[in-house]
Structure 1
């Protein structure tokens, strides 16, 4: 078992499984974040954030998610370095780009580093404050959840204030675009590695992956931009 996971195929399999797990997280995360655009003063977003913070299933998934990120990053770096070492000087020999190979697939390490930097900023701005240090903006507010007035942290106030800084919005847009390009290759590649691919499905997954990738990228970046332009207090 350990020899299998240590092989190139085993590492690619771990990359694919962890990547698909993280794709599910992105779908859930974007769905909750889209509530930031509901013009109700943040009540619906605060209710969604409260549900995510107090749901027992989410508490179990959260450490698994952290492990998934670490596995994906570590094995991504390992595979990239091993592939470069295996190619050696041959990759510089012709000076021509390999035909049929996308820019994203040739630059997954750079894209991965961009996404990782974006993730660190996200964790520092939100997760650390919500889970560890606290913040004055998180002062409790009351929202209606299924007809019951419920006291929750004002996560909306923290997010809204953070997206009031133009440089943070710019970094988020860059990170979201990097994530989209990363996903445009990673989506179909993950399915191919686990065996769900052939000539016909390779083309379909490539198209589906591009659509999904840019929905995610445009979704996250547009939320930040719209918060900066239209949702800041006067």
Structure 2
């Protein structure tokens, strides 16, 4: 046990934990983006609100969520420790600096991570914390949706008056009724503020540069390198994690601000 603890406390051990938690967070953002894409549906937020309820009430997902929070905390703390240690070990900057984006991102992972941590805290406060209503002052209201089961078309989407409601899905003849917390409305209100949209887009730029280096670095740290597969990892890290995913997230506030 002492050897295991010693390994975790070493620089290599911290980098290994960083790599594993980082890859776990990469899988999460894929799932998160997949669910958030329902925001682009023109259904008054019905699909997104159903997704939000599922993600916060399905037991296996809740367990994964706690692992996610732990991973964010561990990843952030270890990143801070390693950054401080590296700064102390090399107090004087290099005389010449590489101009490549990958080199810049690798040398500024601490800055990029700080921006992302700030974004995560604000994002969770405005949406996750508000949705769960831990403090009893949630601004999330409820909405009732009615869908014609024979055509699959939405009949109505009505804001419910203040009161006590529970998530429910039931049928009335050929009509399906869904009552759910309207997190979509909270998203719409947040994304109508230009400064929030600007900060969100800035955070996604930070995500892009962070993953541009972090995804490939995780495989190198774990020793999962091979001349045959490394180019594939680099391609996925660059085009999928550093381009497609950040753009997908950034489009949400932009579309809501200009088109909704």
- Same fold (TM > 0.5): yes
1:37 maps to 2:66: no
Q: Secondary structure at the match of 2:96?
A: coil
Q: Secondary structure at the match of 1:102?
A: helix
More helix by share: 1
Shift of 1:150: 3.1
1:110 maps to 2:138: no
Q: Please identify, of 142-151 and 74-83, the stretch whose mean Cα deviation from structure 2 is larger.
A: 142-151
1:7 maps to 2:10: yes
Bigger Rg over Cα: 2
1:167 to 195, 199, 209: 195
2:238 to 203, 210, 213: 210
Q: Secondary structure at the match of 1:125?
A: helix
Aligned length: 228
TM-score (norm 2): 0.81
Comparing both chains, which one has the higher relative contact order based on Cα–Cα distances under 8 Å and sequence gaps of 6 or more? 1
> Which structure 1 residue ranges, 5 or more long, are not aligned?
none
1:133-144 pair list within 5 angstroms = 133=135, 134-142=137-145
Shift of 1:198: 3.0
TM-score (norm 1): 0.90
1:57-72 pair list within 5 angstroms = 57-72=60-75
Q: Secondary structure at the match of 2:42?
A: coil
Q: Deviations for 1:151-201, whole angstroms, at most 9, x for unmatched residues?
A: 211111111111111110010000011011100100111111112113443
Name the counterpart of 2:155.
Answer: none
Q: Secondary structure at the match of 2:90?
A: helix
Name the counterpart of 1:194.
Answer: 222
CA distance, structure 2, for counterparts of residue 163 and residue 171 of structure 1: 10
1:40-51 pair list within 5 angstroms = 40-51=43-54
- RMSD in angstroms over aligned alpha carbons? 2.0
Quick check: 1:108–1:182 contact (8 Å CA) kept in 2? yes
> Which structure 2 residue ranges, 5 or more long, are not aligned?
148-168
Quick check: 1:46–1:143 contact (8 Å CA) kept in 2? no
2:251 to 215, 222, 227: 222
Quick check: 2:131–2:138 contact (8 Å CA) kept in 1? yes
Flag the 1:200–1:83 CA change in 2: closer, same or farther, 3 A: farther
More strand by share: 2
Shift of 1:84: 2.2
Flag the 1:146–1:104 CA change in 2: closer, same or farther, 3 A: farther
